[in-house]
Structure 1
Amino acid sequence: MISAEKVIDLIKEAGTGVDESKLNPSAVLTDIGADSLDMMSIILAVQEATDLEIPDEDLDGLRTVNDIVVYVNERISGATKSENA
């Protein structure tokens, strides 16, 4: 599982153009300075931290820290359930 705090830390570490003073779980990342390259950096950092591959078709739905947290945790939970089945 991943927390909002962990995603925020990953965003800060990725060296993006995000205004860190406005960075919170519900902020739309593109509204606080993330461009398309920043978004790719964020997604790559999340993928590395979680060992998940996030398909391109899912990227449009990942607009906030909360979106990323929910998506990743659902994927992790789903993978765990299928491994235990």
Structure 2
Amino acid sequence: MKNMLTEADVKQAMTDSGVTADVSNLGSEQAFSEYGLDSLDLFNLFVELEGKTGVTVPDEDLDKLKSIDDVLVYFNKS
């Protein structure tokens, strides 16, 4: 059984990937764009998460991942 990704894991990956915004106050349902993350921030986040989990996000799925909740559902699906 694989380890499930948590909200804290996503926030840590955001920090590790160089997101400069204070992610501690980012709500799990809040859209990344509302919080000021741009496409480069998101690209770096997904590269970081892929490295941690081994899950690759195809380009066509990137637009579906708009919040921490979306990321958790995507990365934790079986």
TM-score normalised by the chain length of structure 2: 0.86
Higher share of residues assigned helix: 1
Task: Spell out structure 1 runs of 4+ moving beyond 4 A.
Answer: none
Identity %: 32
Residue of structure 1 aligned with 2:17, choices 8, 14, 34: 14
TM-score normalised by the chain length of structure 1: 0.80
Which blocks of at least 5 consecutive residues in structure 1 are unaligned? 78-85
Structure with more relative contact order (C-alpha pairs < 8 Å, separation 6 or more): 2
The structure that has the greater radius of gyration is 1
Give RMSD over aligned pairs. Answer: 1.3
Contact 1:17 1:35 in 2 (8 A): no
Residue of structure 2 aligned with 1:43, choices 38, 43, 46: 46
Which blocks of at least 5 consecutive residues in structure 2 are unaligned? none
